[in-house]
A = this chain, B = another copy of it.
Amino acid sequence: MKKGATTIRDVAAAAGVSVATVSKYMNGTQRFTPAVEARLKEAIEQLGYRSNPLARSMITGRTRTIGLAILDIRNPHFTNIVKGANRVALQHDYTLLLVDTEESQEREQTLIESLAQRVDGMIVSSRMPDDSVQWLLDLGKPVVLFGRSSRFQISSVGTDSNLAGYMLANHLLKLGHKRIAYLGFGRSRWNDERIRGIRNCLDEYGLSLDVYDAQSPSAAAGERACSGLMLGPKRPDAVICYNDLIALGFIKEARELGFSLPRDVSIAGFDNVPYGEYASPALTSVDFQSERMGELAMTKLLDELHGKSEENAGYSMLDPHLVVRESTVRREVGEAADGDARTRKSMSGMRAAE
């Protein structure tokens, strides 16, 4: 029975009924006389019949498949989104068509365009600028995006990055930090909002923020960026990183440079990735509830697909939660960031802070 799977016609013949009857039976569209029902059950069981979803989809126009386009499955933020989306999809008997665009903008559009044809709807996480999203909507399939769009009335879910930035800054300020740096990731759509939140808070204390940029949202980039901050002219006493991955890399490299953490510098990130907890010092972060973001995105999409779009259309926002761990500690008064008496190989690379 390798080739030529049994079709609806085979079943119809075996049960002595029409194909229409079999179809109705398979879809539970109708009631049957016990005799017919028994023969159908028998024939289907006998032949091991399973209806062909492709043929079905072609007629109904629905595939029970949701396209999920993300930037990098290895980034725990996206991993969680996939996990959440998958769970809800499974509950509703939908399957996930996954596309990992590998952070490549060129590929992205092509991939998403062909994805659109194979699914009932899409959830897409992208670095597309806000104003070049129109084509996505024109694909004719319901879409849920991440982050709020200023120009379009799109269904989307996000978190309050502004608030998240404020929370972290506020936390550090209350710990007595004065020289706060932000190691961001400029290509991200949320970078500016986070900066804004941080600055909002610093302003209240009359402090300013030094902004640096990592080359990618990864631990490796955090490592690379570390020496620039820690051995530069304006060594901070606390660093807020664009995400936990960057923070983790930063911590590792800082220790290798001879710094003692969190004593010499407090570090915090965003995302609350699963393994920040197991780093040392355990990482202070802001939890964006990424798994729930995935769940919510899928719920919204499915609702839209099933015509109950009113329930939670438009933009939904999840609350960020501050998770304080060991990587951020109190900076005592008078304990200037560069005032330690420790010796360090790279001491020569340091100058007085401005």
Contacts and interface: CB of A to CB of B under 8 A. Distances in A.
Interface string A86-126: 11001000011111101000010001011101100000000
B79 A73 contact: yes
Contacts of A252: 277-278
A349 interface: no
A99 B80 CA distance: 14
A86 B73 contact: yes
Interface in A253-292: 273-275, 277-281
Most chain B beta-carbon neighbours within 10 Å: one of A5, A54, A79 = A54
Interface string A220-255: 000000000000000000000000000011011000
A312 B95 CA distance: 30
Nearest to A107: B90
A50 interface: yes
Contacts of A74: 76, 79-80, 83, 274
B99 A140 contact: no
Contacts of A114: 53, 95
B115 A53 contact: no
Interface of A: 1-3, 5, 50, 52-55, 57-58, 63, 65, 68, 73-74, 76, 79-80, 82-83, 86-87, 90, 95-100, 102, 107, 111, 113-115, 117-118, 140, 219, 248-249, 251-252, 273-275, 277-281
A277 to B, nearest CB: 7
B86 A100 contact: yes
Q: Could you say how many copies of this chain the assembly holds?
A: 2
B52 A117 contact: yes
Nearest to A277: B252
The 9 A-B pairs at the shortest CB distance, nearest first, are namely: A280-B280, A275-B275, A98-B98, A248-B278, A86-B100, A96-B98, A54-B58, A278-B279, A53-B117
Nearest to A104: B90
Given A86-B98, A96-B99, A275-B278, 15 more contacts: A53-B118, A54-B118, A58-B58, A73-B79, A74-B79, A86-B99, A95-B98, A95-B115, A96-B97, A219-B274, A219-B278, A248-B278, A275-B275, A275-B279, A278-B279
A68 B54 CA distance: 18
A103 to B, nearest CB: 12
Contacts of A90: 100, 102, 107, 111
A279 B251 CA distance: 10
25 contacts: A2-B140, A50-B117, A52-B58, A52-B117, A54-B118, A73-B82, A74-B79, A74-B80, A74-B274, A79-B79, A83-B100, A87-B100, A90-B100, A90-B102, A95-B97, A95-B114, A95-B118, A96-B98, A96-B99, A97-B98, A219-B275, A219-B278, A252-B277, A273-B275, A275-B279
